[in-house]
Structure 1
Amino acid sequence: MRAPDWLTKRPVAHRGLHDAARGIIENMPAAATAAVAGNFAIECDIQLTADGEAMVHHDDALGRLTEGSGLLVSMTAAELKAIKFKNTSEQMMTLGDLCALVAGRVPLVVEVKSHFDGDRKLVARMAEVLSSYSGPVVGMSFDPDQVLALREIMPGLPRGITAQRTYDDSSWTKLTPAQRDSMLYLRHGFKTEPHFVAFWVNQLPAPAPWIARKVFGCPLLAWTVRTAEQRERAARYADQIIFEGFTPGT
């Protein structure tokens, strides 16, 4: 399977077209609505709940952007759907809610967040939700095991790997050296068989995404593009951008 042509046709709004100055927070309904209005694809994150639902949220805990506190995986979908984003009247969505809101008008790029513990329930729930969704959508994850789960549970869904050249910054200290090593250089590619690569723009160019793009024909998305320098870098080395903080074309 090749990555769909629509994947690189338009810029991808990182966690929706959010703008905190206008009260539009990442991954909330208004951010999705704004992206649809701008005709941008939507990148979003999903997290697992205690009762096996897929919630649209980046962080694995409440508090940074929302009211309340606690791990999402310790709460039910009903509890989380009642949570409001700070200083707004909007509440957290399920993946099903997002699909109903977007209704196929723009593509969805769904990132499966992972605790790197081998739990595949989130991908299983994603498959259930998307089984009745006819709009354009792809899945991706930093965790090679979750990409493998996408391959095995949803073989007909285009899938990608979210990656960077190194994993030595503080956000990766929770992983074992063996786990970090397994993610380097896209070395899992012959097992996960990704159809595209989403790579950290600050670490482009890099050999692994170059090979994936030039040798294996995997489109390359550059994340997260915020500055003019990053836009220029992405234009040189990638096929499309995952962006935030500005509106492409303006």
Structure 2
Amino acid sequence: VIIHDGDLKRLTGQDGFVWQRTAAELAALRVGGTADHVPTLQEMLHLVNGRVPLVVELKGTPGYDEGLVASVGKMLKRYKGKAAIMSFDHWLVRDFPKDAPGIPGGLTAYGKDVGLIEAHFAMLAHDIAFTSYAAGDLPNPFVSFVREKLKMPVITWTVHDQPAVDLTFRYADQMTFEGFEPDLVKVA
């Protein structure tokens, strides 16, 4: 399903977690007090219908996400447009090459401390094609290395204002944004 949080409370007002419900049960839930429901990935792919490229972030739950990468990979293989997958979850990223072959995979990441940076570097062994990094954690050695040495695209998340836009285009290639119209911002 397409939903940001693993916990249902903020977006649907319901108690519990996504992994505790079936797709049909989630579809019956309303989002943000609107008439909108939690859509399945297949519904979203049908709605978009190849008109724009998609980046789908996979969020796992240890012990409850077996087959997630393979299922999403199969759906995206049939999608009429371009698509990529990404995840914070290293165990899912490790499955990208075998369970979603041909779908570009990326690492969603954050942090500047040595332990996190080392863990991100370890993910380079798993054939990632891009990274999506927290805008507020730029610059850092991992992003500099993948962008400058590996020529790998870097997307920032989540950009809310002009200072974050400026930071993005100084250290990255593109942004995930919220709360403003990006074509109205002035890129430095």
- Work out the CA distance in 2 between the residues paired with 1:75 and 1:60: 11
The two structures have a TM-score, normalised by structure 1, of: 0.69
Displacement after TM superposition at 1:119 (Å)? 4.0
Q: CA RMSD in A?
A: 2.0
- Work out the CA distance in 2 between the residues paired with 1:164 and 1:239: 16
2:129 to 187, 195, 200: 195
Displacement after TM superposition at 1:99 (Å)? 0.3
1:246 to 180, 183, 187: 180
Choose between structure 1 and 2: higher helix proportion. Answer: 2
Displacement after TM superposition at 1:221 (Å)? 0.4
1:62 to 1, 5, 8: 8
The code of the aligned residue for 1:114 comes to: G
1:230 to 164, 171, 177: 164
1:206 to 129, 136, 140: 140
Partner of 2:106: 160
Which runs of structure 2 are paired with 1:1-250 in the superposition (5 Å)? Answer: 55-117=1-63, 119-166=65-112, 181=115, 184=118, 186-250=120-184
8 Å contact kept, 1:224–1:244: yes
8 Å contact kept, 2:73–2:101: no
Identity among equivalent positions (%) equals 35
Gaps of 5+ in 2: none
The two structures have a TM-score, normalised by structure 2, of: 0.90
Q: Which gives a bigger RCO, structure 1 or 2 (Cα 8 Å, sep 6+)?
A: 1
Distance 1:64 1:118, change over 3 A: closer
Count of aligned pairs: 184
8 Å contact kept, 1:204–1:237: yes
